[in-house]
Structure 1
Amino acid sequence: MTERQRVALVFGGASSEHAVSCLTAASVASAIDQEKYEVVGVGITPSGRWVRFDHDAMTSLALDGKNLPAVGEDAPDAVLLKSSGGAQIATRADRALDELGEIDVAFALLHGPFGEDGTIQGLFEMNGIPYVGSGVLASAVGMDKNYMKLVLSAAGVSVGPFVTIPPREWAKDRNACLESVNALTFPVFVKPCRGGSSLGITKVADPADLPKAIEFAQKYDPKVIIEQGLVDARELECGVLETPDGPRASVVAEIRVHSNDGVYDFATKYLPGDQVDIDVPAELPQDVTERVQALSIKVFDTLGCEGLARVDFFLTGENHLVCNEINTMPGFTATSMYPQLWSASGVNYPELIDTLIQQAIGRRPGLR
């Protein structure tokens, strides 16, 4: 039997998307080929501590009713060490290091700040660790909706009208910030600029409700983005997967939300209930499907993404496509949208995990 490649599954994190990351880790750990890969679990607590997780502990992370899983503080410390050939992971017990071993590749199943925004990618680069997903710049730009939209707009991709409110401007002159939103047509969507999993989002139809919505979004990110709502637009999503022949686009899906406010928020995505229908594939004319797929690859390439991404669009009544956002580390449980898109495209969940890991191992860290 050939020696197994050692994969560090890094999950949890000090962001509001901690629980989603835990669910993702449990799903990947359950599906990964253990004859091919030796899995090393590294949980990051909400306080930022790195701790060791064995395989069974990872797979036990689950949603219990409406109770979300979390990485506890009682596990032993995980320690990352730079080595001549890359990096090692060890467990610290009291003052001694144990279970020291080389890491072949890291799979950071982290969502949101400090995981999807280029920070941990920079850590991997500095330690010479191959890793799944986009690099520092693509991760940072993809995470910040303001800069993402500026870059895509410069490349000729339609992104829709928006206003960004930096924390310094809000502190200096709230009235000027609120007046800047008058350039948009209501309803608008107020969002954390560097958030994900639809946390902190408010749909605002009355300008008088803007201050409260902005302050709510600032609980997740001091920088806020306000996007003009597109009335009666269809919400479409497409996955992109890097292959040896270049990026490939999946089938296209449509999300139809039935919640009272029509917002595809955290509860609608992750908590039990019948608030949304997801059509995979979406019922679209072939030419529209092909346009979404081609534009998804263009977005992926424009930002310099690697590995994987999910690109979200709005389709207006005039069949005009507006790019809403890109996720460089989309939700990755077996039932998340990204794996569903690839399952419908002929790539099952274990195969998808294997493809991403092998693609990462074949890509050297550093400038490329």
Structure 2
Amino acid sequence: MENRKIRVGILFGGKSAEHEVSLQSAKNVADAIDRNIYDVVLLGIEKSGRWRFLDQAKYLLNENDPKRISLNKENQKSVTLIPQSGGELTDVETGQDHSAVDVIFPILHGPFGEDGAVQGMLKLAGVPFVGAGILGSAIGMDKDVMKRLMRDAGIPICKFLVFRQNDQLDFDEIVNKLGLPFFVKPANLGSSVGVHKVTDRTSFSSAIQDSFGYDNKILIEEFVNGRELECAVLGNRNPYASVVGEIISISDFYSYETKYIDENGANLEIPAAIDDETSDRVRELALEVFRVLEGEGLGRVDFFMKDTGELIVNEINTLPGFANISMYPRLWEVSGLSYTDLISRLIELSIERFEKLENLKTSF
């Protein structure tokens, strides 16, 4: 790699309700990546799961419309990675090999991309990839497992209940345990897709039905009345934390529309208007969460801060959004790391981890 540009495969799209978010993020990464160091290969995953080797000249349709953005699948080659290919892309129809990619940057959100599935495939293929590994990705995707691990580690979290398809849900019993209002959300999804704030019995049934439409397991969480703080983490074994930001949502809560479509739906205050002691505590907790949940490469840790100053960890996002209005890259920009340099650092971290794993013994 020393005498040529590093070939980066940007992998995006995917079989997820967060497909369109991924397209937005990928476009921003492709636009911002340092072309003096990296050659870019665009790999778009259709909602059917098919991988496409995309022409960089026209790989997105309606690219400036978050609601209508989509992959341009016309005349695009279908490719795959096979185990121990070392990043070699194979044409599905002809069997012909394309030039190998040196590293994969998966800009995938939700199931089949952020949950360890793609990470396992990339590990079998023998190619470095940005972000958490199989275990860290799976933990970060499943809010139930994530919260139980944090609780066992003594990290402050909100009260929650877990239900699966065909479980009996009693509204009065839930209210007795969590109070009103409360939140209903799919266990394995992000970007506020399928999330509902329930304020009465009438809205309860529709919220449950919609959340179960996205996952076979749902969480019901107590409502925490507090400020929404977020902190970005970067690194492998010795991670470091960004400045702390605050989301001041104009809508009822930080919804999908607010995050990715309506730039005026929330104010992102970076750095947050909090004292130094609170900022330090948020950053320390973010690093602790990152380590406990097997984070690697990058992560965004989300908090609630009550009026008393008490901090509650909401969740970690192992592949946060990279759209123009996304918090993760903006937190690092204010921390002194530009969008382009952030991308470079993430790629460096992925190669660093891969090389360490390659040096592990496989026999004794």
- Maintained 8 Å contact 1:27/1:59: no
State the distance in 1 between where 2:25 and 2:197 align: 28
Counting only pairs closer than 5 Å after superposition, residues 51-200 of structure 1 correspond to structure 2 as 51-58=52-59, 62-64=63-65, 66-70=67-71, 72=73, 75-83=76-84, 86-92=86-92, 94-97=93-96, 100-167=98-165, 171-175=166-170, 179-180=173-174, 182-200=176-194
| Structure 1 residue identity aligned to 2:140 | G
Shift of 1:15: 0.2
- In structure 2, do the counterparts of structure 1 residues 273 and 241 end up closer, same or farther at CA, with 3 Å as the change threshold? closer
1:235 and 2:228 matched? yes
Match of 1:308 in 2: 298
State the distance in 2 between where 1:366 and 1:197 align: 34
1:347 and 2:347 matched? no
Q: What is the SS of the residue equivalent to 2:353?
A: coil
Match of 1:255 in 2: 247
State the distance in 1 between where 2:9 and 2:164 align: 36
Q: What is the SS of the residue equivalent to 1:253?
A: strand
State the distance in 1 between where 2:61 and 2:336 align: 28
| Structure 1 residue identity aligned to 2:234 | L
- In structure 2, do the counterparts of structure 1 residues 67 and 116 end up closer, same or farther at CA, with 3 Å as the change threshold? same
Q: What is the SS of the residue equivalent to 2:24?
A: helix
State the distance in 1 between where 2:18 and 2:309 align: 33
Shift of 1:40: 1.2
- Maintained 8 Å contact 1:235/1:315: yes
- With 2-11 and 56-65 compared, the bigger mean Cα shift is at 56-65
State the distance in 1 between where 2:10 and 2:242 align: 25
| Structure 2 residue identity aligned to 1:235 | E
Shift of 1:87: 2.8
- With 179-188 and 195-204 compared, the bigger mean Cα shift is at 179-188
- With 281-290 and 179-188 compared, the bigger mean Cα shift is at 179-188
Match of 2:215 in 1: 221
| Structure 2 residue identity aligned to 1:211 | S
State the distance in 1 between where 2:80 and 2:233 align: 33
- Maintained 8 Å contact 2:15/2:47: yes
State the distance in 1 between where 2:66 and 2:189 align: 24
State the distance in 2 between where 1:74 and 1:289 align: 51
Q: Provide Cα deviations, 1:126-167, integer angstroms capped at 9, x if missing partner.
A: 111111000111110111111100000111101111111112
| Structure 1 residue identity aligned to 2:22 | S
Q: What is the SS of the residue equivalent to 1:108?
A: strand
- Maintained 8 Å contact 1:309/1:327: yes
CA RMSD for the aligned pairs?
2.1
Shift of 1:333: 2.4
Q: What is the SS of the residue equivalent to 2:184?
A: strand
| Structure 1 residue identity aligned to 2:233 | V
Shift of 1:278: 1.0
Shift of 1:173: 2.8
| Structure 2 residue identity aligned to 1:165 | F
For normalisation by structure 2, the TM-score amounts to 0.92
Shift of 1:105: 0.8
Q: What is the SS of the residue equivalent to 2:215?
A: coil
1:23 and 2:24 matched? yes
State the distance in 2 between where 1:60 and 1:353 align: 24
Alignment coverage as a number of residue pairs: 357
- Maintained 8 Å contact 1:26/1:58: no
- With 202-211 and 290-299 compared, the bigger mean Cα shift is at 202-211
- In structure 2, do the counterparts of structure 1 residues 186 and 44 end up closer, same or farther at CA, with 3 Å as the change threshold? same
Q: Provide Cα deviations, 1:291-337, integer angstroms capped at 9, x if missing partner.
A: 00000000000111100000000000110000001100000124311
Q: Provide Cα deviations, 1:209-265, integer angstroms capped at 9, x if missing partner.
A: 32221111112212110110012x000000000068x10100001111112xx1111
- Maintained 8 Å contact 1:146/1:193: yes
| Structure 2 residue identity aligned to 1:237 | E
Match of 1:14 in 2: 15
